[in-house]
Chain A
Amino acid sequence: MTNAAIADAAVGTEPASYLEAGHTLISWLTTTDHKRIAILYAISITLFFFIGGIAIAMVRLELMTPHGLFLTSDAYNRLFSLHGIIMVWFFLVPSIPATMGNFLLPLMIGAHDVAFPRLNLLSWYLYVFGAAFTVYALLSGGVDTGWTFYTPLSTNYATGYVIAAAAGVFVVGFSSIATGVNFIATIHMLRAPGLTWFRLPLFVWGMYTVSMVMVLATPVLAMSLLLVIAERAFGLPIFDAARGGDPVLFQHMFWFYSHPAVYIMILPAMGVVSEVIPCFARRAIFGYTFMVYALIAIAVIGFMVWGHHMFVAGQSPLANLVFSFLSFIVAVPSAIKVFNWTATLHRGQITFEAPMLYALGFVGLFTIGGLTGLFLASVPIDIHATDTYFVIAHFHFIMVGGTVSAYMAGLHFWWPKVTGRMYSEAWARFAAITTFLGFNATFMPQFVMGWDGMPRRYHYYPDVFQAWHVMSSVGALILAVAYVLPLIYFGWSLIYGRRAPANPWNATGLEWQTSSPPPKENFLRLPRVEVEPYAYSDTDQVSGANNRMPVRAQGETA
C-alpha cells in the first residue's frame, strides 16, 4: 500500500500502543482508557453472545420434532426466555455502542478520551454486576416469563427466578444510561478544532442518536421492572387485575422502552454501514445531510410507536390507529437510508473485502426486515401475524440480519486499527457468505410458517409445521458455524496476523490518521479538520495546506 508508508513516516517512530500500557489484570480492571474499556466490553459481550447462542441452539434442536426431543416444556420456556434476555440486554444493546463506540468515538472526533473516563469504567462494572444477577438467575433455574416479563404471569404465576432476572436487567440498564451520558457529553464538548457538526462521520452521528435514545428510554424499563419486583416481592397490587390494576399498563411502560431499544440496536449498525460502504466503494456517502436527519428522525419518532406491539393486547381501536400511523411514518427515514447506501455505490470503485460483504448483506436483509415491519404496522395484518413466527422472523431480520451483520462489518473494518493485526481475508469472506446463507435458511421459513398460523414460544407444535421447523433448524446450524469462524481466524490473527499499517483500507476519518494500534493518548498532535467527511474521490485530490487528510492515491495500485 503506497500511502501507508507515507502515513507511517508522518507519525515518526512507532509510539507505544495502548496495549503496552500495562499487562497485569489489575491494569485492565482499573483502566479508564476508553480503548481498554472497549476491549473489556468486547470480551464480555462475546461471552454472552455464545451463551445466548447455545440456549437457542438447544431450542432449535428441540423443535426438530413436533413433540419435543429432550427438553420438558418448562426447560424449553426457560431456554427461550434466557435467549431473549441475554441477547437483547447483554449482547445487542451494548454490542456496537459499548465496543466500537467506546473505542472509536474519541478517535473519530480527535479527543484523548471520553468526557468522563471513570464513569465509562463504572458503566462496564454495572454491566458485570447486572450480568452477575442474571447468571445467578440462569444457574439456579432460569426464568420462565419470556424476555418481556408480562404481568400477571411474571408477578403472580411464574415459578422461575423473576426477581433476580429483573434485578439483573434493571442494573444493566444503568450501564447503558452511563454510556449514553458519556457519549453525548463527549460529542458535544471534545470535538477537535474545525470538526463542526456536519463534518462528523455518520458513525459519530449514530453514537449521538443512540445515546439520546439510551438515556431517555432505559429509565422507563428500569421503573417497569422495579414495579414487577415490588408486586412480586411485596404483594403491592400495581398490575394486579383483581384489585383494579391493568396488565396493559405494564405493557405500555415496557414497550415504551423496548421499541426504542430496537432503535438502540439499529442506529449504531446504520452508523457502521455508513462508514464501511463509502470506504470500499471509494465514494462519498450519498446525501450526507439526509442521512443525518434520518438518524435523528428515527431516534425521535421511535419513541412514539410502541403501541404497535399491543394491537391485540386490549388497546383501544383509536390507539391502534394512532400507533399504526406513527409506525408507518418512522419507516420512511429507514427507507431513505437504504436508498442512500445503494446510491453511494453508483459510480464507485467497489472492492469486496469482508466488511463490504457484511455491509451489503446488511442493506439487503435490513430492507426485508424493514418492509415486513410495514406488514406488522398495519392493524389487520398484525392481528393475524402478531405472536406468530412471522414476528420472530421480522425482528431477527432486523437484529441478526441487520445489527449483527453490521457488528461483524465493523469488527472486520476496525480490527487492524484495534489490534494492529490483519485478519485472513479469504476466511473472512467465506464466513460472511456462510452467515448470509445460514441466516436466510434460518429465518425465511419462519415468515412462511408464521403467516400460516404457527404461534411463537411453542414447545409442542402442530405437525403441519415440521417441515419449516426442520429447514429453520438446519439453517441455524449453518449460522452457528458461520459465527464460530470469526472467533477462530480473529484469534489466529492476534498471534500470526500480518502487522497492520495505520490505514490499511485507505479510509478517511481521524481514527485512521493515528498508528494501529493507537497510542494511549490517541493522537501525538491534536488533528485539525478542514474537509468534509468521506472525502473519497477517485481523482487525486490534495486538500488544505497542512494536508491532515491522507492523500488519496489514484485507486490502489496493489
Chain B
Amino acid sequence: MTNSHGRRVHVWLRPIAVWVALVLLGLASLGSAYLPLNAFNTSLNLAIAGTMVILLWLFLMDLVGSEALVRLIAVAGLLWLSFMFALTLSDYFSRACEGPGDVPPATCVNQKTNRGAF
C-alpha cells in the first residue's frame, strides 16, 4: 500500500488532474451552449458530458485498476441502455408524419421540418 514514494504522489496527483479536466470540460460545455450552433449544440454538450463521465468512471472510480469482470459490468449497463434507446427511438422516428396523414405531428418526429431544431 504505502510502499513506493511514486505511488504516494501518483495517488494525490491523478485525482487533482482529473478534477481540473472535469471542471474545464464543464466550463467548455457551459460556454458552448451560448454559441449559436443550433443542431451541433446538443451533440457537443452530450459529447462533453460523455467524456466527463468516462473520465470520472475510469480514474476517480478506478475502473482502470479494477478487474475485467467489473469493467464488463460497467459496460453491460450502458449496452442494455442502448438496446432500449435504439428500439424505442426506431418506433418514434419511423412514425409517418405526412403522406396519408397517418399520424399527426403530436407524436411523430417530423424529420424534414425539425431537423434544424434538434
In the complex they form, whether A and B have CB atoms below 8 Å apart is answered with yes
Within 63-112 of B, Cβ neighbours of A (below 8 Å) are at 69, 76-77, 80, 83-84, 87-88, 90-92, 94-96, 103, 106-107
Shortest distance in angstroms between B69's beta carbon and chain A's nearest beta carbon? 6
Shortest distance in angstroms between A469's beta carbon and chain B's nearest beta carbon? 36
Within 411-468 of A, Cβ neighbours of B (below 8 Å) are at none
In the complex, which residues of chain B have a beta carbon less than 8 angstroms from the beta carbon of A319? Answer: 87, 90-91, 94
A188-B69, A244-B106, A316-B96 given; A304·B91 CB < 8 A: no
Shortest distance in angstroms between B100's beta carbon and chain A's nearest beta carbon? 12
Q: How far is the CA of A116 from the CA of B96 in the complex (A)?
A: 50
Q: In chain B, what residue has the closest Cβ to A241?
A: B106
Q: How far is the CA of A200 from the CA of B84 in the complex (A)?
A: 31
Interface size class of A (residues with CB under 8 A): 20 to 34
Flag if B80 contacts A318 (CB, 8 Å).
no
Q: Verify if A509 is at the interface (C-beta below 8 Å from B).
A: no
Q: Verify if A220 is at the interface (C-beta below 8 Å from B).
A: yes
Flag if B107 contacts A246 (CB, 8 Å).
yes
Flag if B91 contacts A315 (CB, 8 Å).
yes
Flag if B87 contacts A316 (CB, 8 Å).
no
Q: Verify if A307 is at the interface (C-beta below 8 Å from B).
A: yes
A307-B87, A316-B96 given; A248·B107 CB < 8 A: yes
Q: How far is the CA of A135 from the CA of B88 in the complex (A)?
A: 34
Q: Verify if A16 is at the interface (C-beta below 8 Å from B).
A: no
A216-B76, A248-B107 given; A316·B84 CB < 8 A: no
In the complex, which residues of chain B have a beta carbon less than 8 angstroms from the beta carbon of A316? Answer: 91-92, 94-96, 103
In the complex, which residues of chain A have a beta carbon less than 8 angstroms from the beta carbon of B69? Answer: 188
A246-B107, A248-B107 given; A216·B77 CB < 8 A: yes
Shortest distance in angstroms between A246's beta carbon and chain B's nearest beta carbon? 4
In the complex, which residues of chain B have a beta carbon less than 8 angstroms from the beta carbon of A256? Answer: 84, 88
Which of B77, B91, B95 has the most chain A CB within a 10 Å cutoff? B91
Q: Verify if A323 is at the interface (C-beta below 8 Å from B).
A: yes
Q: Verify if A252 is at the interface (C-beta below 8 Å from B).
A: yes
Flag if A303 contacts B107 (CB, 8 Å).
no
Q: How far is the CA of A307 from the CA of B86 in the complex (A)?
A: 12
In the complex, which residues of chain B have a beta carbon less than 8 angstroms from the beta carbon of A252? Answer: 88, 91
Shortest distance in angstroms between A310's beta carbon and chain B's nearest beta carbon? 8
Q: How far is the CA of A13 from the CA of B18 in the complex (A)?
A: 61
Q: In chain B, what residue has the closest Cβ to A326?
A: B87
A244-B106, A318-B94 given; A323·B87 CB < 8 A: yes
Flag if B106 contacts A307 (CB, 8 Å).
no
Q: How far is the CA of A244 from the CA of B84 in the complex (A)?
A: 22
A188-B69, A303-B83 given; A318·B106 CB < 8 A: no
In the complex, which residues of chain B have a beta carbon less than 8 angstroms from the beta carbon of A381? Answer: none
Q: Verify if A322 is at the interface (C-beta below 8 Å from B).
A: yes
In the complex, which residues of chain A have a beta carbon less than 8 angstroms from the beta carbon of B94? Answer: 316-319
Q: How far is the CA of A303 from the CA of B69 in the complex (A)?
A: 21
Flag if B107 contacts A220 (CB, 8 Å).
no
Shortest distance in angstroms between A286's beta carbon and chain B's nearest beta carbon? 30
Q: In chain B, what residue has the closest Cβ to A249?
A: B88
Shortest distance in angstroms between A357's beta carbon and chain B's nearest beta carbon? 38
In the complex, which residues of chain A have a beta carbon less than 8 angstroms from the beta carbon of B95? Answer: 316
Within 237-271 of A, Cβ neighbours of B (below 8 Å) are at 241, 244, 246, 248-249, 252, 256
Q: How far is the CA of A109 from the CA of B84 in the complex (A)?
A: 34
In the complex, which residues of chain A have a beta carbon less than 8 angstroms from the beta carbon of B84? Answer: 220, 256, 303
Q: In chain A, what residue has the closest Cβ to B80?
A: A216
In the complex, which residues of chain A have a beta carbon less than 8 angstroms from the beta carbon of B77? Answer: 216
Flag if B91 contacts A307 (CB, 8 Å).
yes
In the complex, which residues of chain B have a beta carbon less than 8 angstroms from the beta carbon of A188? Answer: 69
Q: How far is the CA of A252 from the CA of B85 in the complex (A)?
A: 10
Q: How far is the CA of A303 from the CA of B76 in the complex (A)?
A: 13
Shortest distance in angstroms between B81's beta carbon and chain A's nearest beta carbon? 9
Within 5-19 of A, Cβ neighbours of B (below 8 Å) are at none
Q: How far is the CA of A314 from the CA of B77 in the complex (A)?
A: 29
Shortest distance in angstroms between A405's beta carbon and chain B's nearest beta carbon? 30
Q: In chain B, what residue has the closest Cβ to A260?
A: B80
Q: In chain A, what residue has the closest Cβ to B87?
A: A304
In the complex, which residues of chain A have a beta carbon less than 8 angstroms from the beta carbon of B106? Answer: 241, 244, 246
In the complex, which residues of chain A have a beta carbon less than 8 angstroms from the beta carbon of B92? Answer: 316
Q: How far is the CA of A79 from the CA of B80 in the complex (A)?
A: 35
Shortest distance in angstroms between B98's beta carbon and chain A's nearest beta carbon? 14
Flag if B83 contacts A304 (CB, 8 Å).
yes
Within 482-504 of A, Cβ neighbours of B (below 8 Å) are at none
A302-332 contact mask (Cβ, 8 Å, vs B): 1 or 0: 0110110000001111110011000000000
In the complex, which residues of chain A have a beta carbon less than 8 angstroms from the beta carbon of B76? Answer: 216
Within 209-250 of A, Cβ neighbours of B (below 8 Å) are at 216, 220, 241, 244, 246, 248-249
In the complex, which residues of chain B have a beta carbon less than 8 angstroms from the beta carbon of A241? Answer: 106
Q: How far is the CA of A256 from the CA of B84 in the complex (A)?
A: 7
Q: How far is the CA of A323 from the CA of B87 in the complex (A)?
A: 8
Shortest distance in angstroms between B109's beta carbon and chain A's nearest beta carbon? 10
Flag if A303 contacts B90 (CB, 8 Å).
no
Q: Could you pull out 17 A-B pairs where Cβ atoms are within 8 angstroms? A: A216-B80, A246-B107, A249-B88, A252-B91, A256-B88, A303-B80, A303-B83, A306-B87, A314-B103, A314-B107, A316-B91, A316-B96, A317-B94, A318-B91, A319-B87, A319-B91, A322-B90
Could you list 11 further interchain pairs (A-B, Cβ under 8 angstroms) beyond the known A303-B80, A323-B87? Answer: A216-B76, A248-B91, A252-B91, A256-B88, A304-B83, A304-B87, A307-B87, A316-B96, A319-B87, A319-B94, A322-B90
Sorted from nearest, which 3 A-B pairs have the closest CB atoms?
A319-B91, A318-B94, A316-B94
